[in-house]
A and B are shown apart, each in its own frame.
Chain A
Amino acid sequence: MRRSLAAALLVPVLLLAGCGSGGDPGGQPADGPDVLRVLAGSEIKDLEPLLRRAEAEAGVKVRLTYTGTLDGAEQVAGGRADGNVDATWFSSNRYLSLIDGAASRLATQTKIMVSPVVLGLKPAKASELGWDGKQVTWADIAQAAKDGRFSFGMTNPASSNSGFSALVGVAAALADAAGALTAEQVESVTPRLKDFFSAQRLTAGSSGWLADAYARDQRVDGMVNYESVLLGMRDPLTLVYPGDGVVSADYPLTLLASAPDAKKSLYDKLAAWLRTPAVQKDIMTGTHRRPIVPGITPDSRFGDHQLIELPFPNRRSTADELISTYLNRVRVPAEARFVLDTSGSMTGDRIAGLRQALTALTGADTSASGAFTRFSNRETVTMFPFNDTPGRPIPFTVPERDPASVLADIKRFAQGLDAAGGTAIYDSLRAAYDLPPTPGHYTSVVLMTDGENTDGSDYAAFESYYRALPQDRRAPAFVVLFGESDVEEMRQVAELTGGALFDARSTSLSSAFKEIRGYQ
């Protein structure tokens, strides 16, 4: 289970790399007259077995390249997807459509299926709260969260559509907004959002990883996720459909305007095939998503609640304001620990890449995804640079207001990094776990090394150290593969700590760090 988790997370990064270099990732066809190249959100990964049938049944080979929601939206709107892919398949095009200039990049959009974002709770907790079989509103849920009666996990709204949809829904419901949310309403609803999100104990960069992390962590009572993910959990959850409304994903398969004519025909074939009654039924039974084509008898597991769909913002500035409010003012602040290899092998481009990757997180990256991956207000960041031995930890706390001076300090730290000496990975990693966590923060560790362990204790020693740690001192380690790092050992670190692997070997440290930010 854990092994497959870490492996699964590695795949998207590899595929994305394949996209740029035009290689042949994961044995999928690179291109060809019957290949439709699709830029997709990781949410649709569970459709891969079904899509393999498209070759025989629709005459279309689907080649998927995965990316995050915001990142994907920026790629498409900025025209960087043109020529590399023919179509996109995200769980929603709403944010993308709000970006200026995006509309002209998109041709036909075809909705394939639907899944609302709702709350799933352990059945015992749901009945303790009296929420099974009763109509509950987001306001009820926020009150229970404020009173500390339950805890939940949710994905990062800047990285994943399920978190973004949940945030929009909760904000609209708590603001009692009768129409589209405005920036003023975002401001006035912020205290109530804080109540709601005070109960969040788990975050993630993707809804699939969230589900796995939730399954591992018995302390968390539930999660906000797609109905399809919640219904797919091995241990059944009680689903709470808030009576004041939800935001749903509608998975539009979208042709890019730049796609060549031959690819357009493939798109038409695939879209038509996906909407045939037989395939719609298979999607429903296989992935627990609701069919978009009428006439398919819905699975009884969807229940018979009338789902009120909450209005979604129709201005990008409002959506961005909401995400930024969540990150900088509302969420449980992050405590991020960066264990950074500054050994001799990092000399040259590598240390320069590390400096740049960290600098980008201080606000130097001015794209939307860059703005949402910067170190957030209220966040504690501790740097653990190392070579032969662990270096002195260097802590930074970004203040609630006016973060610029601390961000500048972090930037100065990054610019001052130099490479020399050996590689004491596990002594240094241990140093990061030796530091007690800051109460009321969400702690995680990033391990970046470009080589094998040459000094100090070994992996086995770290493993026994970690296993002896009390539960509240444990934290996921997000491990960056770089240079000649020992893939197998790094995988073990990720599995041991419930973290994940990120491959920067074929992309860049900067893109790996940016992706990791979604998990902190």
Chain B
Amino acid sequence: MKRRVGIILAVILAAVAVAAIVLGNREPDQPQATVVRGVIGSEKKPFFDDPRVKAAFARQGLRVEVDTAGSRQIVTDVDLSRYAFAFPSSVPAAEQIKNDRGATTTYSPFYSPMAVATFEPIAGLLVKAGLLRDSGKGYQILDIKKYLDIVSKGTRWDQIPGNSEYPARKRVLLTTTDIRTSNSAAMYLSAIGYVANGDDVPTSDAQISKIAPVLAPAVLDQGFAESSSEASFDDYLALGAGKTPMLVVYEAQYLAHVFAGDGAIKPDMRLVYPSPTVLSKHTLVPLAEPGNRVGELLTKDPELQALAAAYGFRTTDPKAFDDLVAKTKAPAASGLVDVVEPPTYERLDRLITTIDSARP
């Protein structure tokens, strides 16, 4: 059976290679480019779309084309036979793909901590409500334990004493993406799950059953959630606090705009860090040979590493990232200590399924 899949895969790859040569020949400037198609988390799409990134790959004879999908979708729904690599946004998802597809190696060229994008008047209210405080290291932290208390009480914005800035009747809830499709929501779930589990990574079904009802309101009561982190960040940037008073983001999404100085981050916008937080380690799983080359280049090519930093990702060599933070006075936390590990893919998947079955 496995052999047959292998043969089919080989045939498909041969077809892809032929198509690549045919298509590659259409580009007058890169006559020999091999097309490598990957499926990635949406938050990395701007990076792959950047002409400088495309040029860096082109110099190595590659043209990388990407489709986006949620990390969990990449594991469960996407037909991976169409792709030379999968590049989900977390280690658990990558490990699962690696096991499913019998890949031998993975590449983790960059990572980004989960953060919360909010606005000045909201941040002020969160301080008043005792959820947000200074870390003493130049950035603010959102206390997840206290946040879960507020969630369990069902507190609304207009119930925070002295709130005239944001008198919305909505619940005080972090906006997340859809836990069923999006990695950023799953990473967030890992962080709050750790707290709900008594400051420990959940490792048993019994623990999952116990914490699921505590966590469910934090992700379900917000109502409809976007399927990708790019879409919800679009809302944050364009529609402001009315739509998204506080949004769970990858730090990189926010910093990319600060580093670029493109004016998207307005003066009243704030980046704060949940405590604890989780690192989203973007991990590439090669599914065919050219995928390996993409993984190697992303990890080792100094130019690609610098470009990844420009997109807000923390790279293996921290220098590029640190330089950009210093240059733009970006609000990036240095020395994040309260970082916890996500559960295994299987455990996290069970947590998501259990919570989802309680959708209101």
Binding site for B on A (CB under 8 A): 94, 97-98, 103-104, 106-109, 111, 114, 176, 178-182, 244-245, 248, 250, 252, 255, 257, 261-262, 264-265, 268, 272, 290-295, 306-315, 318
Contacts and interface: CB of A to CB of B under 8 A. Distances in A.
Contacts of A291: 238
B14 interface: no
A98 B178 CA distance: 11
Given A180-B223, A294-B264, A309-B244, 17 more contacts: A103-B77, A103-B227, A106-B227, A109-B231, A114-B238, A178-B154, A178-B169, A179-B221, A179-B360, A180-B220, A262-B23, A265-B65, A295-B262, A307-B239, A309-B242, A311-B221, A314-B359
Q: Contact size class for B?
A: 35 or more
A261 B242 contact: no
Given A103-B73, A293-B238, A179 B263 contact: no
A108 B45 contact: yes
A111 B229 CA distance: 12
A78 to B, nearest CB: 16
> Which one of A293, A308, A313 has the greatest number of beta carbons of chain B within 10 Å?
A308
Contacts of B221: 178-180, 311
B296 interface: no
A107 B68 CA distance: 6
Contacts of B350: none
B239 A309 contact: yes
Contacts of B262: 294-295
B241 interface: yes
Given A176-B169, A179-B222, A309-B239, A264 B228 contact: no
Contact of A308 (B65, B67, B242): B242
A306 B73 contact: no
A111 B231 contact: yes
27 contacts: A97-B227, A107-B67, A107-B69, A108-B42, A108-B68, A109-B231, A111-B234, A111-B235, A178-B154, A178-B221, A179-B171, A179-B221, A179-B222, A179-B223, A245-B170, A248-B243, A250-B235, A255-B67, A268-B49, A290-B238, A307-B242, A308-B170, A310-B170, A311-B222, A314-B223, A314-B359, A314-B360
A97 B224 contact: yes
A404 B298 CA distance: 64
A180 B178 CA distance: 14
B228 A109 contact: yes
10 closest residue pairs by CB, A with B: A311-B223, A180-B223, A179-B221, A312-B224, A309-B243, A294-B264, A104-B77, A307-B242, A178-B171, A294-B237
B224 A294 contact: no
B282 interface: no
A318 B360 CA distance: 9
B278 interface: no
Nearest to A181: B223
Interface in B249-266: 262-264, 266
B243 A307 contact: yes
Interface of B: 19, 23, 37, 42, 45, 49, 65, 67-69, 73, 77-78, 154, 156, 168-171, 173, 178, 180-181, 217, 220-225, 227-228, 231, 234-235, 237-244, 262-264, 266, 359-360
Contacts, number: 120
B213 to A, nearest CB: 15
B360 A182 contact: yes
Given A103-B181, A295-B264, A314 B242 contact: no
A288 to B, nearest CB: 16
Contact of B242 (A104, A295, A306): A306
A315 B231 contact: no
Contacts of B169: 176, 178, 244-245
A111 B239 CA distance: 12
Contacts of A114: 238-239
A311 B170 contact: yes
A279 to B, nearest CB: 15
Contacts of B77: 103-104
Contacts of B235: 111, 250
A98 B173 CA distance: 21
A103 B180 CA distance: 10
A294 B263 contact: yes
Contact of A264 (B65, B173, B243, B359): B65
Nearest to A243: B167
Contacts of A181: 223
B67 A180 contact: no
A15 B262 CA distance: 41
A24 B223 CA distance: 42
Contacts of B178: 97
A312 B263 contact: no
